[in-house]
Structure 1
Amino acid sequence: MTLDEHVVLLNAAGEAVGTAPKAVVHGTDTPLHLAFSCYVFDDEGRVLLSRRASHKATWPGVWTNSVCGHPLPGEAPADAVARRLSYELGLTAGHIELILPGFAYRAVMPDGTVEHEMCPVYRAVVAGDPRPNPDEVGDARWMPWKEFADDVTSGLLAISPWCGEQVPLLTALGPDPSAWPAGDPAGLPPAARPGRTT
């Protein structure tokens, strides 16, 4: 990805209010912006975990969900999921589905760097194993969903703050990730809804 990649800035209602370069948006006063998280599963129901590259600006070297990122201005979040899956993990998803349309969070690193996102959560199903891009991903591994969720909720597995907040919401949807109900696109931030004009 190029250094001039931009993210979509949001107001408290989730409406687009501008853009900013991704390379400079994260700091001690990070503005609210649009993002996504995706949990990738294989046909055995295992979830793919990724460890953020050690040189990442936010939460370097930390294990997290399969892929996270920022839709480009005018890009649908599901398209951004597909783009980042290919770029970060060398994967093509057979199916990408919205699960948690309204997830948002704010987290602060020990050095004061803030992450502040409206971050819809998606589920994807892939065939094959990842080919991590070392610019983005330090490591990747498959794990049975129940084992992963239990380890996160019990504190046995150190995980990114957004993933730590998402997992209880996902487990509340049921024990089988393939049976989670699809989220309503009407619950997305307005800037991410289908048919938006911004």
Structure 2
Amino acid sequence: MTSTLDPDVEYVVLCGERHERVGYVPKAEVHHSRTPLHLAFSCYLFDERGHLLITWRARSKRTWPGVRTNSCCGHPGPGERLPDAIARRLTDELGVTAERVDLVLPEFSYEATMSDGVRENEVCPVYRATVTSRPQANPNPDEVDDTAWVDWASFVAEVDADRTSVSPWCALQVDQLRTLGPDPLAWPVADDTRLPSAAREPLEDPR
């Protein structure tokens, strides 16, 4: 765990048992067989017709390389609000700017382990991002191999038929997202007070 932060290093936020902030660790060092609990996010980007932008993770990724998943995932840095981190990653990974970013699953968390023993262990609120005109994605090859726009109901059916066709976190999130209703554009927006304490304001960047 790191207490003195290097401004040139990308960090993730470590979480305690109550999902509170307990420190920071360089992102490059966080994922291994004993990955500590840390703060992340998942984002599902929809166009004006309720079609979802799905992605295939770059094959160079440390965790679940080449796997189909939701639009964007990532980690907020020290002092960074989750919506700001989502906007940053949508731009960095896909070259896309969302018009709205709304919290839909504030309390989601999960653990998953790859066949080689590398483990994910995340407090991972889920957001819906929306655009009124479908953008042309420009994937960063270091992050994303490919993208596609798909019908939400069809995507849910595909995940139901084969949960291994997507990342483990995406499969679990789809289970919960479907309970919010069949129309993703009509999902209720959750209150920020339901976020884990590690993600709530006030946030101070210790650097």
Paired AA for residue 155 in structure 1: D
Cα distance in 2 for residues equivalent to 1:102 and 1:84: 21
Cα distance in 2 for residues equivalent to 1:197 and 1:14: 17
The answer for the alignment partner of 1:10 in structure 2 is: 15
- Encode CA deviations 1:48-79: one digit per residue, 9 max, x unaligned: 00000001000000000000000001100111
Paired AA for residue 143 in structure 1: V
- Encode CA deviations 1:160-183: one digit per residue, 9 max, x unaligned: 000000001001100000110001
Task: Please state how far the C-alpha of 1:3 moved relative to its aligned partner.
Answer: 8.0
In 2, are the aligned partners of 1:8 and 1:33 still within 8 Å (CA)? yes
Alignment of 1:91-130 (within 5 A): 91-126=96-131, 127=133, 128-130=135-137
The answer for the alignment partner of 2:42 in structure 1 is: 37
The structure 1 segments of at least 4 consecutive aligned residues displaced by more than 4 Å after TM superposition are none
- Encode CA deviations 1:117-174: one digit per residue, 9 max, x unaligned: 0000000012312110001000000000000011112217700000000001001100
Task: Please state how far the C-alpha of 1:194 moved relative to its aligned partner.
Answer: 2.9
Structure 1: unaligned runs, 5 residues or longer: none
Output the aligned Cα RMSD.
1.5
Aligned with 1:80 (options 80, 85, 99): 85
The answer for the alignment partner of 1:175 in structure 2 is: 182
In 1, are the aligned partners of 2:163 and 2:171 still within 8 Å (CA)? no
> Are 1:54 and 2:54 matched, yes or no?
no
Structure 2: unaligned runs, 5 residues or longer: 1-6
TM-score (norm 2): 0.92
> Are 1:144 and 2:169 matched, yes or no?
no
Count of residues paired in the alignment: 197
In 1, are the aligned partners of 2:96 and 2:137 still within 8 Å (CA)? yes
The answer for the alignment partner of 1:89 in structure 2 is: 94
TM-score (norm 1): 0.96
Q: Equivalent pairs: percent with the same residue?
A: 53
